[in-house]
Structure 1
Amino acid sequence: MTSPRDDAPLTERLQRRLLRAVGNSRLLRRWGPRILPRVDLKVFRWSHGRWMPSRLLRPIAVLHTTRRDGTPCHTPLLVARDPSGSFLVMATNFGLPRHPAWSHHLLRDPYAALTWRGQTLRVRARLLTPEELRAARDHILAAMPVFDDYAARSGRNVRVFVLTPLSGSADASSAATSGRR
């Protein structure tokens, strides 16, 4: 598969190739879903929301949703920032056959919070239509070079959401960050 932007600088092409190789490694497929989110969240809490190890490779944000029983759920996610200020998040779940829990949470309740670069924003999620997904494909592959590989391995239609910040959400309340409404 060729990259979505063959005219990209050499360092970007090498980085995408490296991310694709790491993302498809047996080690990451086996241990990534179990270890990476936990490590990212621990370091995120220890650094008071300033840093996560996964940010060394790609832009990562923490999505704050609410489970059916009302308890908060905090999930580190790779994000692609849209020029309009929205965020694209891909529910690849490391290529596993099940949709990740956070995507079910967003389908049930589209209002959530997103911590991005130390700032918590209230957002509204919307599942992309197949046409929108095709239109955003280059943007998705630029952010997540392993998207097609994970989608093929999972054997399901990978959900992609656009998270649109709500007006006046720059200083979200503590209720949004704790998952309460």
Structure 2
Amino acid sequence: MKTSQAPPVRVMRVISRVNVAVYRLTGGRVMGTLNGCPICLVTMTGARSGKRITLPLMCTQDGDDVILVASMGGAPKNPPWYYNLKAHPEIEIQLGSHRRAMRAAEADDEQRERLWPVAVRAYPPFAEYQERTTRRIPIFVCSPA
């Protein structure tokens, strides 16, 4: 199996900042999708720093809920934002030009079984990411606050 190496953390931070700025400026019309999967901006509180952080994350809608997949490309550990949402589940999500307060909760086993195929339909590489890792990739259900 061929794996690609992720860009350095500094490069990813710059890309994320640019994505956030352009997304906000255009209401998500530019940099609002990745390979057909919607991107949303998630504003959260850092688990350790306590600072507000906004990240562009792939998302899928499920009714009024927004689904976030903590895949980190199939890395062996969860992305840092996973711990932010666990510590501080009160978040704001911007999808397009619409912002709303939400509360994130990690999907339980039953929810995950239902939502995993929904996430994979929205972004098929999630299935490959799950094959790359031994961890069970977490899914967050973000519901209106």
Superposition TM-score, scaled by structure 2 size? 0.82
Deviates more, 1:115-124 or 1:151-160: 151-160
Percent sequence identity over aligned pairs: 24
SS in 1 for 2:50: coil
Structure number having the greater helix percentage: 1
Which of 36, 51, 55 is matched with 1:71 structurally? Answer: 51
SS in 2 for 1:137: helix
Pair 1:111-2:90 in alignment: yes
Bigger Cα Rg: 1
Residue 49 of structure 1 deviates from its aligned partner by 4.0
Conserved? CA contact 1:64–1:113, under 8 Å: yes
Unaligned runs of 5+ in 1: 1-23, 167-181
Structure number having the greater strand percentage: 2
Residue 162 of structure 1 deviates from its aligned partner by 0.3
Give the root-mean-square deviation of aligned CA atoms.
Answer: 2.3
SS in 2 for 1:136: helix
- Which amino acid letter does the alignment assign opposite residue 132 of structure 2? R
Runs in 1 of length 4+ with deviation above 6 angstroms?
Answer: none
Q: Distance in 2 between matches of 1:123 and 1:142?
A: 24
SS in 2 for 1:115: strand
Aligned residue pairs total 139
Q: Distance in 2 between matches of 1:50 and 1:138?
A: 25
Q: Distance in 1 between matches of 2:93 and 2:21?
A: 17
Pair 1:86-2:65 in alignment: yes
- Which amino acid letter does the alignment assign opposite residue 49 of structure 2? D
Superposition TM-score, scaled by structure 1 size? 0.67
